[in-house]
Chains A and B, each alone.
Chain A
Amino acid sequence: MASLQEYLFISGLLFAIGLAGVLVRRNIIVIFMCLELMLSSANLTLVAFSRFNTGTSGLPDYNGQVLVFFIITVAAAEVAVGLAIIVALYRARQTVNVEDLTSMKG
């Protein structure tokens, strides 16, 4: 079985890819997917910590895994809302390129 460090490494890698995607990609749908990727990396971290944190009974600490279920549920709802916003945005502006969406400029 892979060690905790390997899990955390993968998780960090996923997070970094997500963050980089958010920062450099111009397509808002891709940015959105990268956000989801960052959430998944967090989930992976939680599950890994949960699995490796065995108590005296030999069973893992399930608190982290329960939290992951909550995150997945909320993320599902958030994806629905986020995609709806993106569809509405596209209908209004005919674009999903974030460089064209600068009406908040002060």
Chain B
Amino acid sequence: MLELLGWLLLLLPLFSAAVIQLWLKEMPGTAVSMSILSVVTTFLITLILLAGEDTSAAINWASAGSFHIEIGLLIDNLSKGMMLVVTGVGMLVHLFSLGYMKDDAAKARYFGGLSIFMFSMTGIVLASNFVMMFIFWELVGFSSYLLIGHWFQKDSAAEAAKKAFLVNRIGDFGFMIGILMLWGLFGTFAFAEMADGARALGPDSSTVTGIAVLLVFCGAAGKSAQFPLHVWLPDAMEGPTPVSALIHAATMVAAGVYMLFRLQVSAGALLFEGFAGTTIMWIGGITSLLAALMATQQDDIKRVLAYSTLSQLGYMVMAVGLAGDHGGEAGMFHLYTHAWFKALLFLGAGAVIYACHHEQDIWKMGGLLGRMKKTAITFAIGTGALMAICPLSGFWSKEQILEAAHHETPALFWLAIVVAALTPFYMTRLFIVAFLGQGRSRGAKEAREAPGIMLYPLFALAAMSIIAGFPSIAGKLSPAFHHPEHAFNPTNPIFLISLAALVTGIAAGVLLYRGRDSDPLADNPVFRIFRNKFHLDELYLVLVRCCQDAVAAVIHFFDEFLIGELIVGGLARSATGLGNIFRRLQSGNLQGYAILFGAGIILVIYLTVFVR
């Protein structure tokens, strides 16, 4: 019974997407209902599964001798909690989209895209083995491409979609090799059998295992936008805002963290000891710091949130890389709380953008608190959760990450504290500039509260942002949760340090940005580097251009001169030359032929009679 529900959970969005794509393109109303019906049903199924037992199901997909690839479902606490996030946020985003995309000409295509995304994401979460996960991994990349490029008439959106796809491909290449290496080491793709495989490994293979884990991490770095593959995520904000909330904040970008943690619980945290874990956690930490610095100088409301997402993803990856002292659980816990409040922030930003006639520059907003009270309050709740104000959800998970970092690697702990001070700083900036003060443009002055269909998802997410972190609730809903051994203690030095960071960040933000009409730090050379994203995009452009041009020149030489001129052209020329010599014999003169014929016979006689 539960297995059947699992299959239904996986296949229903696919069915919806297929029907929309094949038959409902011209009937947007029906397509929207179809897509929403599918996502609501999957949410209900998830609730039933959440209450039920762990289960698994598999069908054999491909066999070669003793080698099998299965399409299977693995329904345990981890995947159930993750499915709650995916279908829960997914459902609210579908509803929000009803309002946000009301006047879009390609509504059917949009909702079809959402359905195919829900299918792919469900596949990643429920996958029982690495091959199946890889297939759906690529499928989410594809659906993300479709949705980023929804407004493909805009050049920037089409470019962003292409960039997201290509950067992900780089990561996925490593991921594929990593999967194959792990298969070579463990002898299995299935998560359920990895523990035995990992136990059977001798201590000598730790280098190879570390390389395999790092290659798998390449995939996670692409999908979860870790440095240096983070460049696609801010550009992906060209897509519709609900898509950013669902894919580029709550679910797909978290898939990398989910996959790493899935590997960690399947094969044991020992796999992340050594250089692999160290690399992963430092990359996470660096991403988190760089992204937070870049977020301080962005003017586009969605870009601020995008960099903040990067920063929080860096937190999660760092936590999973820490592995020891329940770091992985802390990372998954943060993924779960982050999904709610970041989806809330993005949808709130969507409501604001909608109200301001598609204005995204925060310096052209202002004074929205008075005109959009409900949206502003939910946005404030999300902001508070992201800043980790006690007792909102973000606080609990961030505390756990800090604790794990403090326990394992003090250097990373201090890095995380810097990020924990930067986060309140840039969020305070965003909130003060966009919501307080006076309206700085016509759109902001005319802004009106969003319609109900867009407000209710905000309320639901705000409620989750408040309560999701409490240990009693998180213990039931979070994909992975480690109950702290001792109850929360206000005199804990870690808590005091992070509180100090929080207060510093907020105070700096308030002092700098209260009552301002333009950014006071814009002319500061250091902050200009942050604004320009450390010039990484330009650097990549130059790198790509140099490398690509060099490789292209070499290939061109081979193709044009070696193969084209020398081999193919040379053969043709020698054949022509030989032909030119022999065509002289074809004089058309009958007696010339006769002479040759006679001479030939004489030659044959000479050879047979006189040459021995």
Contact = CB atoms under 8 A, between A and B. Distances in A.
Interface of A: 19, 22-24, 28, 31, 98-99, 101-106
Nearest to B583: A106
A98 B590 contact: yes
B583 A98 contact: no
Interface in B579-612: 583, 585-591, 594-595, 598
Given A102-B589, A106-B583, 6 more contacts: A19-B598, A22-B591, A22-B594, A23-B591, A98-B591, A103-B588
B594 A23 contact: yes
A86 to B, nearest CB: 12
When A and B form their complex, which 7 residue pairs have the shortest distance between CB atoms, in order from nearest?
Answer: A106-B586, A105-B588, A102-B588, A106-B583, A104-B588, A98-B590, A22-B594
A104 B598 contact: no
Contacts of A102: 587-589
A101 B583 CA distance: 18
B589 A23 contact: no
Contacts of A22: 591, 594
B605 to A, nearest CB: 14
Contacts of A105: 586-589
B575 to A, nearest CB: 15
16 contacts: A22-B591, A22-B594, A23-B594, A24-B591, A98-B590, A98-B591, A101-B588, A102-B587, A102-B588, A105-B586, A105-B587, A105-B589, A106-B583, A106-B585, A106-B587, A106-B588
A31 B583 CA distance: 25
A42 B598 CA distance: 16
Contacts of A28: 590
A103 B590 CA distance: 10
Interface in B452-487: none
Given A19-B598, A23-B598, A104 B586 contact: yes
A4 B590 CA distance: 35
Could you tell me the dominant secondary structure of chain A's interface residues?
Answer: helix
A45 B587 CA distance: 34
Contacts of A23: 591, 594-595, 598
B589 A98 contact: yes
Contacts of B587: 102, 105-106
Contacts of B585: 106
A90 to B, nearest CB: 15
B254 to A, nearest CB: 76
Nearest to A105: B588
A22 B591 CA distance: 7
A99 B588 contact: no
Nearest to A99: B589
Contacts of A98: 589-591
B581 to A, nearest CB: 11
Contacts of B598: 19, 23
Contacts of B589: 98-99, 102, 105
A90 B165 CA distance: 78
Contacts of B594: 22-23
Contacts of A106: 583, 585-588
Nearest to B595: A23
Given A19-B598, A23-B598, A106-B583, A101 B590 contact: yes
Interface in B558-589: 583, 585-589
Nearest to A106: B586
Contacts of B583: 106
Interface in B227-275: none
A22 B589 CA distance: 12
Contacts of B588: 101-106
A23 B597 CA distance: 11
A39 B351 CA distance: 109
Nearest to B587: A105
A28 B590 CA distance: 10
Contacts of B586: 104-106
A60 to B, nearest CB: 27
B577 to A, nearest CB: 15
B181 to A, nearest CB: 64
Contacts of B595: 23
Nearest to B591: A23
Contacts of A99: 589
Contacts of A31: 590
Nearest to A26: B591
Nearest to B590: A98
A25 B591 CA distance: 9
A34 to B, nearest CB: 10
B195 to A, nearest CB: 79
A36 B346 CA distance: 106
A78 B588 CA distance: 23
A99 B590 CA distance: 8
A99 to B, nearest CB: 7
A23 B593 CA distance: 9
A23 B583 CA distance: 21
Interface in B537-559: none
Contacts of A24: 591
Contacts of A104: 586, 588
A22 B594 CA distance: 8
Contacts of A103: 588
A101 B586 CA distance: 13
Interface centre among B583, B585, B587, B590, by most chain A C-beta atoms within 10 angstroms, is B590
A19 B597 CA distance: 11
Contacts of B590: 28, 31, 98, 101
A26 to B, nearest CB: 8
B42 to A, nearest CB: 78
A93 to B, nearest CB: 13
A65 to B, nearest CB: 25
Interface string B329-358: 000000000000000000000000000000
Nearest to A102: B588
Nearest to A101: B590
A19 B601 CA distance: 13
B593 to A, nearest CB: 9
A104 B595 CA distance: 16
Nearest to B585: A106
Nearest to A104: B588
B398 to A, nearest CB: 89
